Each structure stands twice: as C-alpha cells, then as structure tokens.
Structure 1
Amino acid sequence: MSDISLSKAVRSNLLSLQGTADMMARTQDRLATGNKVNSALDNPSNWFTAQGLNNRASDLGALLDSMANGVQTLEAADNGLTAMTKTLESMQSTLRQARQDKSFQTESFVMADIDANDPLLGQISFSGGSVTNTVGVDLIKTGTGFSAAMTGAYAAPTAPVKASIEPGTGVTAIDDAAAQAVIDLEFSFDDGPVLDLGVAVDAGATRTPAELADMMQDLIDASPAYAGKVTISQAAGVFRLETVGNVDGEFTIGGTDGNAFFGDPASATATENPVSVTGSNGTHDFTINGKKITLTPTTGLDLDTAIASINTQLGADAKFEAYDALGGKIGIRAIKDNAGPLTIGGPDADFFGTPAGGVVAGTSGTLKFARTTDEMVAAINANTALKGNIRASNDNGKLRIENQSTQELTVEGKDADGAINGGTGTSTIEGNSVRTGLADQFNELRDQLDKLADDASFNGINLLRGDKLTITFNETGTSSIDIQTKGGDTINASNLGVPTSLLPEQLDSDLSIDALLTDVKAALDQVRSQASTFGSNLSIVENRQTFTNSMVDTLQTGAGNLTLADMNEEAANLLALQTRQQLSQNSLSLASQADQSILQLLR
C-alpha cells in the first residue's frame, strides 16, 4: 500500500481496479495456456490428479508404439504364411498334375512260338523302373493235354528189303504111306491175319518140295489179305516165304508142322532156327492227327534227328510236338491247350502201341503249354510285385508293356528277332519324362518355403523362425501376450513334413503321389492353423491397441477436465473484466475529481 493518504472513495476504487487487474491477469493467463490449473498453486487437488492421469496416459502411449510394432511383426509373419500357403497350394497342384499325367512309355512285343518244355526258356523278366530286384513271369502254364510215347526204343529205318523167312535145314519130301496126312502149317505177316497153308497128302503118295510149294502158293493167292503180296518158293527143299515188295513187317510161323518146314523158333538148336529177315520199305511212316510223317534213314538217323524231322513236318503252327520221352523213345505231346485229342495212325502206328481201329489214341495228362498274349497280359497284371509298376495289354496280338515309372525299365526274354520267347535278349523302355520334370518343379517350390520363412521378419523378430514376441498391454506389466509358433518350432519344409528332396521315382505310382499329397495337405493345414493362430493374436493386439487408444483419450480428457480452461468462458470473463476495468477507471476518475473540488475552495 502507498504511504500516501487517499480518500475513501479513491482507495475503494483503487482496490476495485487492482482486483479487476488481478482477475484479468489470471484470465489472460488461462487464455494463453488453455489451462485453468497451471500449477499446484492454482488447485493442488486437480493439479496432482491431472498429473497422475497424464502420466498414465503417457505410459500407455508408449505401449502403443510397442503394440504398433507387434502388429507389424504379426503382419510380416502373416505375409510369410500367406506366401507359404500359396506355395504349398502350388506344390499340391504339381502333384495332382503328376497324378493325372499318364504319358508312360510303352513297347509292344511279338509273342514267339516257344517250346514250353525247353528248360532254357520260359520267362519274361522285368528289372529297373520301379520294379524291386528282378521279377519274372512264366511264359508257360500247366494244363491237361494228350500225349503218347513209343513202346520201345527208337530204331532208325533200315535200307529197303523184303521180309522173308526160311528154315535152317531143308525138307526133301512129305510121304505118308500109312494114311492120308495133312500138313499143318500157318503163317502171318506182321499184324495181318493167320493163314493156314495146310495141304493134304494121300496115303502112299509123295509130294515133292516143288509140288508142295505150288500147292501152298495157290492157298496164298486165294487169300484176300496176302494175294499178290506174299510168295512161297523152295530151292533144294529149302522153303522160303517172302513179300513181293519192300514192306515193313516180319513173318510169324505156326502150326504143328511149322518145325518141319521152318524150324521151331523156340528150339535151342541153331540149325533148326529159322532164318528171318524183317522187311522194310526204307522209311518209318505214320500219321499224327492225319498229318503224314515220314522218316528216312537220313531224316530218322537217330533219336534227336528223328524228333527234329517230325517237328519240321508237323509245321510251325502245329498243336503237337515230338520230344525225347526218355529211354530212347520218341513221344508226341500237345503244346497248345486247345490241341484236342491225339491219334496216331499209318503203317508204323504200332510203334506207339497196339492200334485199335487203325490208330493209337493218346492218353490225357498234365502238360505244359505256352501262354497266349491275353494269358500273358493277365499273368503280368496279376503279379503283385509288378502291380502299379508296369501294366500289360494286348496290342493287336502283341504284348504291350507300359513302364509306369520315371526310370528306365529293362525287359528280358527276347530272341534274336526281338520276339518274346524267354531268351536272353533285352529291351529298354524309357521312363516318364513329364513326371520327372514335375519332380524338379516340386523341389523348386519346396526351396521357396524355407526362403519365405527366413524373409518374414520385422524389426529383427521373425515369428516363423520360432522367435517369441512379447507385447505388454498396461503400464504395470501385469497384462501382456506372448506370441510364438507352436512349440517354438521354425515353420519350414522339414518341420512341415514336406519331403527334403523329391526324387523322380517317388512319382512313379499313383499311390506314392497320393501319400505325398497327404503330406502336403497336412503341411498346408498346419500353415493355415498357424496363420489362424497369428490372426487371432493380431486381433487381440489390435483390440488392445484400440482399447489403449481409447484409454489414453479417456485419461487425457479426464486430466483436461481437471486442468483445462473453458476458453469461451474465459474470453467472456476477460471482456467483462475489461468493461469492469474501464468502469473502475471512470469511477476512480470521478473520485479524483471530487478530491480536486477542494482546490476550488482554496483559490
């Protein structure tokens, strides 16, 4: 206060003017700062309360930055998972394309006529490709067919010679003076009928050998079976039966007087034994189911030559073959299961048994036969070791082999002409080049999985590599979230179960491709599941981010409510205070003028 004495009116107006000036200064300060509480002196309670609210808002604001980085980290991981999902889907597409591709290489083979009983032949074998080891399929089968074999060892045809028989000692005459005598002499030729050459000799009569020969010849000529085919003659009492031509067979002597003319075949006395020559036309002749077979001393020289000659005469399309029936015998057997019955006829059919009705019938038994093309197709496709590895089919009578693999397949069993006969010749069938190329594509896509996982990082954190992301939601640290892959494992091709390196042979069969598709589907499900988990985590972080932003706004609004000035109110107050100040100044001026009226009295 001034030491100057002021009048009451002046003092009152001065005090009023000073108060208005203070209020104007405070209002102007509020307008300048925007706060109605600028320090604890203004309002300690509001000041400290607002400070607490602002401090918490500031702490939460700092957490918002961490949340924003967390959101970006999750988005980076989601970008990686999205790209990995597309890559896995591309891998699925590659495998499906491989499964649908059927451009397998094939080769068709002529089926040769093979000897089903040749121990050196009999199989077609497969190796390489997707076939494990070497798998053989028999070209022959067992079945029921007819066969026959010689009853005795084979003998080659001799040179042409007439059949004959003559006694070991001569006969001069037949004379029976006591009574009438009948000569009991019989003969048969080969399997022909028995002919009785018996002639009567009257008592006291004598027949010379020439007369007896003529009488017997008359009987022969009267026989339908032997007329013109057999002659009987004598020379110096030595009788001789002989065929007219070179005919296979031999004479058999019988009757009680056979010994008188030709000796007893059973006699041990050499001089009494007959001299017999087996007749031969110089060939062996018989028929096999009506097919005439002839063996000469050359073509029937020995067992092997005879067998080869018989098979040549039967022809390449024959349903029967000659073979070594052991014991030096020739056998005839069916080599095709549709051969039907076997009948052997002709002059020498008796080589194979006693003819009935002119033929020898074969017997039914188990034999080996060459498989037809359709039977080979069925046998190959039914082989469990080949199923899914190769496929056989009938290509207009040829055996077509399809290599269901990406690797080369070796087929063994060809002859020199390239036909399948069970020989040692081989053929190579190339693998599926399309599936091989798709295997390379699969591997390239797989490599991208690991690269995508490595590149999906943000601010040094890569969730796909198993890094842990911790985001704190409140200022005390009591609310937070830890974000990490399941088990902390890296999301890469290996952990997803995708094959490390797909080999072309893994695409050989549809079954293996289906298994790979299952693995890729499982990997795709795992990636999608992790993406869903990260998506849920992202939703939580974004919700907390929104919540924290709202809390910061709430805290700041609360603090502002405690400290912020109402600018409209303060502006109005300032205007009112300015008016009051002017009025106070006018009032002070009036009061001063009242004091000046004393000066008028002093003048």
Structure 2
Amino acid sequence: MAISLSSNVRNSLTSLQSITSQAAAVQSRLASGKKVNSAVDNPVNFFTAQSLNNRSDQLKGLLDGISNGIQTIQAASKGIDGITKLVGSLQSTIKQAQADAAQNRPTVVGTGTTLASSAEALLTSKSLKDIALDKRVGSAGDTTVATATAASAGDLGVDTTATGFLNIQIVTNPAAATSTTNVSVALTANTTVRDVVNAINSSGVASAFVDEKGLLNVKGSGSETLGVGLGVGATAIAATGTSATGASNTAFGLAATDATTGIASSGVTSATRSNLIQQYNDLRTQIDSLAKDSGFNGVNLLGGDKTTITFNEKTGKNQTKLEIQGTNLTSDNIGLVQAGNAQVAGTINFQNDTDLDKATGALTNALGSLKSLASTFGANLAVAQTRQDFTKDLANVLTTGADNLVNADANEEAAALLSLQTRQQLSQTALSLASQSDQAVLRLF
C-alpha cells in the first residue's frame, strides 16, 4: 500500500536527499584528496592526468640509469686524476736520473799534440788548453801548421781557399748512420778552434771542449757509438751523405776513423740511474692497475668499455641519449714504454741522456692526452648532470600538472561541506514544519 505524502513534505524530503547526496560527494573528495576519482567524474581530466603521471613515472625510472652513468663517468675521471699524479711521479723519477751524470757517453778524443805543445807553452806562458782554443784554423793558401808564439796565436794549417767554410758531421752509430747532424762554420783568417768548439756545442747532439792537455774532446749526448768528421767544404761529407771522410780530422788531432768507425760507449753504468729503473717500471705498472680499477657497476671507461645514458622515455629515432665510448688507457697506449739499462728497441735506456730526454717528451705528451681525455669526460659529465636535473624538474612539472587536473581543493571542499551541513539542518527544520500541517488533523479527534 502506497503512502501519500503532502507536497510540502515531499519537497522538503527531496531537498534534504539532494543535500545529503552532495555532502557525501564532498566528503568523498575530502577523504581521497581528489576531485576526479574516476573517468565518470571527468573523463578529459582523468585520462589527461593519467597520461601525465605515466610519463612522469617513466622519467623518474630513467633517473637511476642517468645516476649510474654519472657515477661511471666520475669513476673514470677519478682514475685519470690518479694516473696524472702517477705520471707526475714518473717525471720526478726521470729528473732524478738526469740529475746524475751519465757514465757511458762515448767521447772522441784527440790522440796527438797538434793543437798545442809544451814548446808553445814555454813560448807563450799559457796553458795548453788556452793555446789550443786560441789557435786559428787556417787561411787561404795555408798548408803549414804555425806554432804559437808570444806574438802570434798560431794556426792548424788548414787551407780555406776552396770554400771558406768548415763542415762538421756528428753521426750516431756511423756504420748504420742512425742519426746524422751537420754543422757549418764560416772560415776567415780569424776563425779559431774555440769557434769550432762552440759550433759543436750548438748542435744539441754532442758537446766539445779542449782538455788540459790541449786535446779536442767531443762527447756524445747518448750512449750510442759516436762518429765525428771535420773537413773544409764538402770534403767532410762522403758521397753517400751518410758518413764523414774525416779529411780534416788530423788537423784537429782526431783520427780519420773517428768519422767512419766512431767511438763506442764506455759501457760504464750509473748505479743511481740503475736503481731508478725499478721505480720507474713500478710506477708504470701502477698506471695500468689504476686504469683497470676505475670502473663502476661493471663498466670501465678507461678499459675501453662503452656506456649509454638514456634521457627520455621514447624509442627509435625519437629517443635522446648520450653514448660515451671509453678508451683502453694503458701506459703503452699513452707512450710510456718500459725502462732498462741497455739500448733495446721500444724501451728507455736510463743510461742514455737522449733516451731520458725522449722520455721527458713522452711524459709531457701523456699529460696532454690525459688532460684531453679528462676534458672530454668532464663535458659528458656536465651534460649528464644537466639532463639529470632537467629530468627531475620535468617529472615534477608533469606530476604537478596532473594533480592540478584531479586533486581537490581542501579549503574549498571543507567550506562546501560546512555550507551543505547548514543547509541540511535547515532542510530538516523545513521538513519538520511541513509535517506539522499534516499532524493538525489529529486535533479533530
């Protein structure tokens, strides 16, 4: 049996039901914190927010890979820093070796007394050394040695008519002509032995001096066999251009064979330099070990490995990433060869000044290579760190945008709930008043 309600009661009841429903919806939004909880609430905002949150989650997932890539680069960078310090220690070792004079340099020494004699010392009251240095080489048409006197410095009797210059050829390993250096001295009537000595010293491959006996000495800068040939004009240079004939060697007290055969190393080694060889090789080994230990999570950019850092969630051509190809960093690869006590191809002879000079140059080049590699890794690290910060910020922007579409304003919803509760109370009062008119019929009984 249906119960009939008066229109006033029904209207008040309908209003109260509507308010109760609205209050329930507001309470739901306050409880969940969202104004859009499903596609039913607002399809556009719901699916847009879902898409934004999905991309934000994907970007956040990439942050771990970016972080690993950054650590991999930093590990390699720290390795380069350590290797740079070890190369500095190698430089110090080379300097210590250079500070100790080499004992095995070959020296071409005059065997006669043609540069100065004891008789000349009596005539001039000078030392044999000074007499020899002051002697003139010769002059045009000169073929006779002139003795030094109190009034004249004397000369070596070299005829300068033909060409007017003296050729000096300094050869490393004359038999094979490993290295040949030519120096020319312009000849005049005033050119002296001192000028010839200075010319040899300026060559950079040998040093010359006149000893206290008045003999010319030419010392090599390395430990290889040294050949020295002197001659007027082209006579000091053989037709092959590989060795000196020594045509004028005798005028300077040197043997002709000093040009063609040369003088071998003494073979005497420096104990100090020998002791530094192990130190040098140990440091070199540590460079290789440090490079091997500069990896992170199984990837070593100093071991030739490659790492790829992905920056976005896309695939194929639309994917952005940074590929970093490492290098196989070893002491050999940066030009630092092993050290030894003898002349062996592909090694540094610590007894040889020339080899030590080459090693110094190799260490300088190695530092340049390390600096360039560090700069490359530094640039890649800056890119990765910038993209890491960008990815974090972009993920936050996407999350905030999604929240703005679906999140409820707590203050607004609370105010609405308070208003609805007030209206609910008023509706309940109105319903009570409406029902009172229906109750008036009871007064008739």
- Name the TM tier (shorter chain): 0.5 to 0.7
* Matching residue of 1:208: none
Where do 1:433-444 residues align within 5 Å? 433-444=271-282
8 Å contact from structure 1 (residues 406, 431) kept in 2 = no
* Matching residue of 1:591: 434
Residue 61 of structure 1: how far off its partner (Å): 1.1
For residues 539-560 of structure 1, the C-alpha deviation after alignment (integer angstroms, 9 at most, x for no partner) is 1111111111121111111111
* Matching residue of 1:503: 340
Q: Tell whether 2:403 aligns with 1:566.
A: no
Residue 98 of structure 1: how far off its partner (Å): 2.6
* Matching residue of 1:554: 397
The verdict on how the C-alpha distance between 1:339 and 1:9 changes in structure 2, with shifts beyond 3 A counting, is closer
For residues 99-124 of structure 1, the C-alpha deviation after alignment (integer angstroms, 9 at most, x for no partner) is 3x13556xxxxxxxxxxxxxxxxxxx
8 Å contact from structure 1 (residues 471, 481) kept in 2 = yes
The verdict on how the C-alpha distance between 1:494 and 1:103 changes in structure 2, with shifts beyond 3 A counting, is closer
* Matching residue of 2:46: 47
8 Å contact from structure 1 (residues 473, 544) kept in 2 = yes
The verdict on how the C-alpha distance between 1:475 and 1:547 changes in structure 2, with shifts beyond 3 A counting, is same
Residue 511 of structure 1: how far off its partner (Å): 3.1
Residue 3 of structure 1: how far off its partner (Å): 4.4
* Matching residue of 2:300: 462
Aligned counterparts of 2:80 and 2:387: Cα–Cα separation in 1: 23
Aligned counterparts of 2:116 and 2:373: Cα–Cα separation in 1: 68
8 Å contact from structure 2 (residues 222, 354) kept in 1 = no
Where do 1:120-519 residues align within 5 Å? 129-131=104-106, 137-141=109-113, 431-477=269-315, 478-485=319-326, 489-499=327-337, 501-505=338-342, 506-519=349-362
Residue 393 of structure 1: how far off its partner (Å): 7.7
Aligned counterparts of 1:532 and 1:588: Cα–Cα separation in 2: 82
For residues 516-566 of structure 1, the C-alpha deviation after alignment (integer angstroms, 9 at most, x for no partner) is 111111111111111111111111111111111121111111111111111
The verdict on how the C-alpha distance between 1:431 and 1:92 changes in structure 2, with shifts beyond 3 A counting, is same
Aligned counterparts of 1:76 and 1:144: Cα–Cα separation in 2: 68
* Matching residue of 1:11: 10
8 Å contact from structure 1 (residues 406, 507) kept in 2 = no
Where do 1:69-148 residues align within 5 Å? 69-99=68-98, 101-103=99-101, 129-131=104-106, 137-141=109-113
Aligned counterparts of 1:45 and 1:339: Cα–Cα separation in 2: 115
User: What code does the residue aligned with 2:414 have?
Assistant: A
Residue 597 of structure 1: how far off its partner (Å): 2.4
Secondary structure at the residue paired with 1:469? strand
Secondary structure at the residue paired with 1:140? coil
Residue 574 of structure 1: how far off its partner (Å): 1.4
If you compute each CA radius of gyration, which structure gives the higher value, 1 or 2? 1
Residue 591 of structure 1: how far off its partner (Å): 2.2
Aligned counterparts of 2:87 and 2:271: Cα–Cα separation in 1: 23
Aligned counterparts of 1:137 and 1:39: Cα–Cα separation in 2: 103
Give TM-score, length-normalised by structure 1. 0.48
Residue 406 of structure 1: how far off its partner (Å): 9.6
The verdict on how the C-alpha distance between 1:579 and 1:519 changes in structure 2, with shifts beyond 3 A counting, is same
Q: Tell whether 2:418 aligns with 1:575.
A: yes
For residues 50-69 of structure 1, the C-alpha deviation after alignment (integer angstroms, 9 at most, x for no partner) is 11111111111111111111
User: What code does the residue aligned with 1:439 have?
Assistant: I
The verdict on how the C-alpha distance between 1:502 and 1:405 changes in structure 2, with shifts beyond 3 A counting, is same
* Matching residue of 1:521: 364
8 Å contact from structure 2 (residues 70, 385) kept in 1 = yes
For residues 337-365 of structure 1, the C-alpha deviation after alignment (integer angstroms, 9 at most, x for no partner) is 9799xxxxxxxxxxxxxxxxxxxxxxxx9
8 Å contact from structure 1 (residues 389, 509) kept in 2 = no
8 Å contact from structure 1 (residues 391, 404) kept in 2 = no
The verdict on how the C-alpha distance between 1:441 and 1:403 changes in structure 2, with shifts beyond 3 A counting, is farther
* Matching residue of 2:375: 532
Residue 469 of structure 1: how far off its partner (Å): 0.8
More strand as a share of residues: 1
Q: Tell whether 2:381 aligns with 1:544.
A: no
Residue 504 of structure 1: how far off its partner (Å): 3.9
Q: How many residues align?
A: 328
Aligned counterparts of 1:90 and 1:587: Cα–Cα separation in 2: 97
Aligned CA RMSD, in angstroms, stands at: 4.0
Aligned counterparts of 2:421 and 2:212: Cα–Cα separation in 1: 116
Residue 446 of structure 1: how far off its partner (Å): 1.0
8 Å contact from structure 1 (residues 104, 402) kept in 2 = no
The verdict on how the C-alpha distance between 1:511 and 1:27 changes in structure 2, with shifts beyond 3 A counting, is same
Aligned counterparts of 2:293 and 2:205: Cα–Cα separation in 1: 41
Residue 71 of structure 1: how far off its partner (Å): 0.8
* Matching residue of 1:61: 60
Aligned counterparts of 1:381 and 1:507: Cα–Cα separation in 2: 27
8 Å contact from structure 1 (residues 406, 504) kept in 2 = no
Secondary structure at the residue paired with 2:439? helix
The verdict on how the C-alpha distance between 1:401 and 1:432 changes in structure 2, with shifts beyond 3 A counting, is farther
Q: Which runs of 5+ in 1 are unaligned?
A: 106-128, 146-336, 341-364, 366-377, 408-427
Secondary structure at the residue paired with 1:463? coil
User: What code does the residue aligned with 2:273 have?
Assistant: R
Secondary structure at the residue paired with 2:308? strand
8 Å contact from structure 2 (residues 111, 215) kept in 1 = no
8 Å contact from structure 1 (residues 71, 541) kept in 2 = yes
The verdict on how the C-alpha distance between 1:440 and 1:77 changes in structure 2, with shifts beyond 3 A counting, is same
The verdict on how the C-alpha distance between 1:102 and 1:144 changes in structure 2, with shifts beyond 3 A counting, is closer
Give TM-score, length-normalised by structure 2. 0.64
Aligned counterparts of 2:391 and 2:323: Cα–Cα separation in 1: 18
* Matching residue of 2:163: none
Over the matched positions of the two proteins, sequence identity in percent amounts to 44
Aligned counterparts of 1:507 and 1:381: Cα–Cα separation in 2: 27
8 Å contact from structure 2 (residues 109, 218) kept in 1 = no
User: What code does the residue aligned with 1:94 have?
Assistant: T
Q: Which runs of 5+ in 2 are unaligned?
A: 118-145, 150-156, 158-194, 225-265, 343-348
Secondary structure at the residue paired with 2:280? helix
For residues 233-252 of structure 1, the C-alpha deviation after alignment (integer angstroms, 9 at most, x for no partner) is xxxxxxxxxxxxxxxxxxxx
Aligned counterparts of 1:389 and 1:441: Cα–Cα separation in 2: 29
